[in-house]
Every structure is written in structure tokens, then in C-alpha cells.
A and B are shown apart, each in its own frame.
Chain A
Amino acid sequence: MTEINYRDAQVPIRGGFAEAHNRYWKRLASAGAWFSGAERVAIAREVRQASSCSLCSQRKAALSPYQVDGSHDTASELSDTIIEVIHRVVTDSARLTKPWFDGIIQQGLKVEEYVEIIGTIVNLFSIDEFCRGMSIPLNELPEPVAGEPSNYRPANIVEDGDGSWVPMCPNTVDSGPESDLWEGRTGYVIRALSLVPDEVRTMLDLLETHYINNSQIWNVKHCPRGTLSRIQMEVVATRVSSFNGCFY
């Protein structure tokens, strides 16, 4: 498998980044719950394609993305529905709507598949964005590993997602296979991908590497590495989220 290392970066990058990113690369290449390794790597390739898609650029510039019809510039053989999900989430997520989501599901995509696609998009994107932020070339995508999706769906699911678009694990999961995901209660943004638990596991792994351990988010004295104060960390988080129009 392609081994990620950041030894050639202009400044030293602590080893935790390469380790966490390699853990994800291994997962990305392997079959997930609903997609094969080849499909997951194709999703990743399409994530990278989205930023140069001319339809996405036109939609981004339009008053409403729904005013602009056309075909996406693609880099894979994935279905049009999956490509629409990937490109919209990467390039214009703030203007996603419930009717758009409902339309995607009506086109035949299972909500479980949708959640795994979202997990793959966001985890890959955060690693790529780290590289961009550091001016490091993007890591070569891994070679897919043969294997069949597990079709695993947690038994204990809140089907209405407490009003979210997607079903998710309950706020408290004290026992069973998902009891390792979080301790006590947690926020919706952590629960959001729990219909595919491994997406949460990866998300939390990268969260701790890039930002902070999930259990310490509301411990505002916690400053995991001491390079930045917690207030300084939150300045960056808030400014980036503001650019993204993130209400959450």
C-alpha cells in the first residue's frame, strides 16, 4: 500500500499525522459497510475531481445551484447520483437542502450508502486540505483491496435521527458494538455518521490528530499540544467555519 509520510515537508510534522492518515488510507482501500474498496477509492478520486468541475463552478456562482443544469466533469464510473452527492458536498455544502437530499434518496441511493459516501468525502477531504494548508503534494490514493462490503447496520438506531436527515445511533450508547464510539453523550455532528460506525471511528481518530479528542472539546482549558492556546485554536476554527457559513 502507498505509505504516507511527511518527511519531505518544509517544517517537521509530528508523526501522529502520518500515522492517522495511513490508518485512514488503509480503511479507504478496503471494503466498507456498503461499498467495495474500489468504489471507496473511486469516491475519493471524485472528491478530488469536484474542485475542477465546471458545472460545480457555475452552480457555485449562481444565485441558486438549482438554476444550473448540466453534467459534472467526472473522474470515475460512479453513478450520476453518487457523483452529484460528492460534488455538491465538496463544493457547495452550505446550500444543500432537505428536498435535495430526498431527491437523492428517491433516485435509489440507500441512506446507509449516503452516510458512507459522506464519511469518505469528509475524511479524505480533511487530509487533502491539511496537505493544501501545508503546501504538501496530495498523497497518492491507495490501491483498492479486494473484499465485499459487510452490509453492517447498527441494531440500535434512531430512525428519525432526532429530526436530522439521516438515522443515527442514540445519544447514549452504553453497550453493544457501538459502545466504543463515544462516552456518555455527544453532539449531533459526531452522531451524524453513526449509521456507518466505522465512519465515526475514523472521524474521531482524525479529530484527535487535527484538533482535539472528542471527550475534551468542552474542556476549554484543554490545550492538547501546547503549540496554540485553546483560544487561539478556536479563533482558527471559528474563522474557517464562518467562511463556510457554518451555523452548526
Chain B
Amino acid sequence: MVLRVSIESSGESIDLDGLTDPACTEIKGIPHSEVLLKFSNAFMAYDPEALALARDQLAKEISPEAMVDTAAIASNFQRMVRIADSTGIPVESMGDDMDAMVEELNEQLGINKYVSAANSKKR
């Protein structure tokens, strides 16, 4: 959702369709998305060799500092999902327009099919 708002705010037209598809290797229009996705995939696959390759590529293509921040963001979102899943929190309403945009995005990306939707999609 924050991503969608970020993109709209940037005034760019970017197709997010592949973002939740592990087979998607690049989001056209987002610089270095390929290596960012490569790192994320290796991180979530618990594949140390692929992770090492992705780290090296990230450091070379963007910067070592960006590589550190990518690991930090990934680890943060390993945490946030567990908070949501273990406390059964609903998704808050952000107003009719935003809620409609969220619903549209959830459909587009297949997020409504996630198991955890049963707990969060209730308000």
C-alpha cells in the first residue's frame, strides 16, 4: 500500500503486477528492482549462497550502504507480519477512497487469497 502511494506520488506509471509473484524478477520503472528482488527472494528462501551473490550485486550496483539497508528492511518485515498474525489485528480504514484503492490493489496482487486475510479482513 505504501508502495502504491509512493508510486502515485512520484507521478510515474509502474506496473506492480509481478511484485507478489516470486517468478517476477524485475519491476520495470523501478531502478535496481532486479537486484532488490533477488536479495528478497534469496533472503526468504533461506539460501545463503544466493544471498551472498545478491549482497555482492547490491553493493556493486547501488552501494554497500544500500545493501545494509536492504537487509535491515527485510528483517523489519519479518517482524511486522508476525505481530499482525499473532494478534489478529484488523486492517484499519483509511477513508473510502484509500480503502477502495487498497481493495483494488489487493485484488490485483492476489493478496485477498492470503490465509491471514481471514484474520485481518474483518472490519
Contacts and interface: CB of A to CB of B under 8 A. Distances in A.
Q: Which secondary structure dominates where chain A touches chain B?
A: helix
B6 A231 contact: yes
Interface in B1-59: 2-3, 5-7, 9-10, 14, 19-20, 22, 27, 30-33, 36-37, 39-41, 43-44, 48, 51-52, 55, 59
A93 B82 contact: yes
Contacts, number: 252
A122 B116 contact: no
Interface centre among A121, A134, A220, A232 (most CB of B within 10 A): A232
A130 B84 contact: no
Interface in B79-93: 79-92
Contacts of A247: 84, 91, 106, 111-112, 114, 116-117, 119-121
Interface in A214-230: 217-218, 220-221, 225, 227-230
A164 B92 contact: no
B73 A248 contact: no
B16 to A, nearest CB: 8
Given A220-B9, A236-B40, A238-B20, A189 B62 contact: no
A241 B82 CA distance: 10
B75 A89 contact: no
B123 to A, nearest CB: 6
Contact of A229 (B20, B31, B119): B31
Contacts of B19: 235, 238-239, 242
A98 B88 contact: yes
Give me the 5 closest cross-chain CB pairs, A-B, nearest first.
A133-B71, A234-B3, A165-B88, A129-B75, A93-B85
